[in-house]
Amino acid sequence: MRAVRMHADEADIDETLVRRLVAEQFPDWSGLSVEPVESSGTDNAMYRLGEEMVVRLPRIPGAVNGVAHELRWLPRLAAHLPVPVPRPLREGRPTPAYPWPWSVYQWLEGTNPRVDSLADPDGLAEDLAEFVAALRAVDPIGGPAAERGVPLAERDAPTRAALAQLEGEIDVAAATAVWEEALRVPERRGPAVWMHADLSPGNLLTVDGRLGAVIDFAAAGTGDPTVDLIVAWNLLPASARGVFRERLDVDEATWIRGRGWALSIALIQLPYYRHTNPVLAANARHVIGEVLADPS
């Protein structure tokens, strides 16, 4: 989808490399086609392998741990969720040509939803709420702590640094006011539960307007699940936001914290990806606009 490097420490990955890795480690698949998958993802590169599989390779060192994480936890979570999630098939080894482990998954049908062309926003909101509720209901005992399953205040420094970078590009005063309102809300009290932690349009697949699958569980884990509310602003229109909130029975304080999470993520993404990932930067701008326009 893009030739521009997004990260200073990004690995060089292309079709030739993927064909070589597959041929060397999984020769029974060496005759299958290899095609890049269009994606706004930032941590992993994906290549379709034949018609029924996809190869997923970390782009950066920070994404490497996600390989083992998904191989361990996805099979345990899948049986409890209302829509398909990636099914790991094989794990690839590091080589002199590529330094990290990688993985092969079963291909999942569907397309990433677009905020400006949702066929059934209310239905999608219901599906997303059902997914989040089902994930939260999974037994959290022994589950890994999610990096984003923390109090919102832990994001204050990077969020304010991003605000400083966006002076003149967005309404910084209004964004700061929304952020500070979220920080004033009491922290969540309660046991840790499972969360996906990165419910963005690029990690969702829709079929006929409804949720068909959820992908990329590298950030999934247990903790404060408020971050999973971000999909209300990064994808759903205002008209469907209430459906999502009602189905999850979200109280006012939690909703305000969720809006803060959505704003914080977007503020940090925009200056980082504005020149290297147009899709993600555009979504960040969309989220900021939706948050500032949301009176709830």
B/e letters for 139-151, b = 16+ CB within 10 Å, e = fewer, are ebeebeebebbee
* pLDDT reading at 214 higher than 60: yes
Tokens linked to 100: 């990290």
Residue-wise pLDDT for 144-200, tens only, equals 999 999 999 999 999 999 999 999 999 999 999 999 999 999 999 999 999 999 999
- Give CA–CA dist 210/104, Å, rounded: 26
Residue-wise pLDDT for 34-53, tens only, equals 999 987 667 899 999 999 99
What is the H or E stretch that residue 242 is in?
helix 238-248
Q: Find out whether 9 and 60 touch, Cβ atoms under 8 Å.
A: yes
Q: Find out whether 100 and 64 touch, Cβ atoms under 8 Å.
A: yes
What angle do helix axes 121-136 and 238-248 make, rounded to 10 degrees?
30
pTM: 0.94
Half-sphere exposure in the Cβ direction for 184 (13 Å, CA):
7
What is the H or E stretch that residue 285 is in?
helix 278-293
